[in-house]
Amino acid sequence: MCDDKSWQKTHLFIDFWLILPCIWKNSLQMGYDNFILTVNSSSIIILLVMAAILLTATRFRGENGYAAAIIVVPNVPVYLYNMSRMLEWHDLSLFMLPISNSVNTLLMPLLWLFAKKNFEPSFRLKPIHLLHLLPGLICLVLCLSMSPEERLASIRYEMTGDDSLLGDVNTCLIFMQMIGYFTVIFRFLYRKKKAIRETSSDAEWVQKEWISTFEYLFAALFVIVMVCYAIWPRTDAWLIQILNVVAMFYLVYNTIAHPVMPIKQVVEEISEPSETNEAESSVISTIDEQQMKEVCDRASRYMAESKAYLRPDISLALFAKEVNIPQRTLSRAINGYLGYNFFEFVNRMRVEEAKHLLCGLKATDFNIDSIYTDCGFRSRSTFYMVFKKMTGMTPAAWLETR
């Protein structure tokens, strides 16, 4: 039986493919050109409103500026160009052509930057990172090398439903970006997920998990767009816009719903152990099931007696020092014997504490939201996410079953 998140993702795609015939039918009834014009103008308004809501609700904190840039910069100029082309506003379309063919190559670098800044707050842009602008610069130079007459001829040729040389170059660059950037982004997120969940007990990953889902959603939408474009290039004038609005709604909702929580800098394990941890590595390589059980029993006993799980800042490194067990030995024992990592080890105890407190709420007038800090969680949203992940129910639904 699939979980709620999986069902929501599946439901999203099912809904899209169910409404797609309706979209196509409406486009035929209203005229294809009018349909494209309506989609682009509506998308511009919706995206600008979402960006304003995002920045207002989050007060420009954290990485929300990058999220707003993802919404506006690579999309709005392109849609303005599509509108001016459809309305035959040639002065505006001639002006927007170099801009739209340049800024749409910024989407992938912005997605990469958004992931980096969320999981590495200390990340800073360097001069070498200007290379990310190279595809856009290529398109800009190519556009500006054309005379106004050649650009106008290119625009009119695109109106026939085929792509000009400029459009083909832009499409190839974006396709190569898609392959390269998504490969780098997913590899980066996988490594961060592994490092964070093995060294932290708090909800750093749960709080940021939606970012990974957002990147996967965008990759899936990109594949849909590329397949449809290969079948019929004219879909780039409306399908991308509709899918972008869906993805950006997901981005805005989750950015607002999940307050910015700084991620601790996690030092990833080095494949070859240094001289200072050779002895520990030797112990880890020979630890057997009985030893792992003893380590887990000792850790569980100390955690329950000291109630260390109630501290929001508890981490694998701190706990290992308190219980006097080498950090890597403790991590290996929990993963090997219990079948889950330190992150889940602590949150399971927190959820049990939450259940105990929830049962006590029946005899009081306190609200469910009042107990999350008493369980060791930093935020209400984290408490609800972890509780539902562990029990399959929200705290309120669980309480109703008691």
- Report DSSP state, residue 59: T
pLDDT digits (tens, 9 = 90+) for 100-128: 999 999 999 999 999 998 888 778 889 99
| Maximum Cα–Cα distance across the chain | 80
Report the candidate in 266, 345, 263 with the shortest Cα–Cα distance to residue 309: 345
3-state secondary structure at position 325: coil
**How many alpha carbons lie under 13 Å from residue 91 in its C-beta half-sphere?**
0
3-state secondary structure at position 264: coil
- Phi, psi (rounded to 5 degrees) for 59: 55, 40
Do residues 263 and 121 make contact, with C-beta atoms less than 8 angstroms apart?
A: yes
Query: Which residues of the chain have a pLDDT value below 50?
Result: 1-7, 9-10, 12-14, 16-17, 19-20, 23-24, 27-29, 201-202, 264-285
Report how far apart, in Å, the C-alpha atoms of 3 and of each of 204, 270, 389 are.
21, 35, 9
- Cβ partners under 8 Å of residue 176, min gap 6: none
Distance between CA atoms of residues 317 and 313, nearest Å: 11
Report the chain's terminal Cα–Cα distance, integer Å.
Answer: 23
pLDDT (0 to 100) of residue 98: 94
The pair of three-digit structure tokens given for residue 182, joined into one six-digit string: 């998504």
pLDDT (0 to 100) of residue 206: 65
pLDDT (0 to 100) of residue 142: 93
Distance between CA atoms of residues 29 and 21, nearest Å: 12
pLDDT digits (tens, 9 = 90+) for 13-47: 445 445 445 544 554 445 777 888 888 999 999 99
Q: pTM for this structure?
A: 0.67
**How many alpha carbons lie under 13 Å from residue 191 in its C-beta half-sphere?**
16
Distance between CA atoms of residues 104 and 167, nearest Å: 12
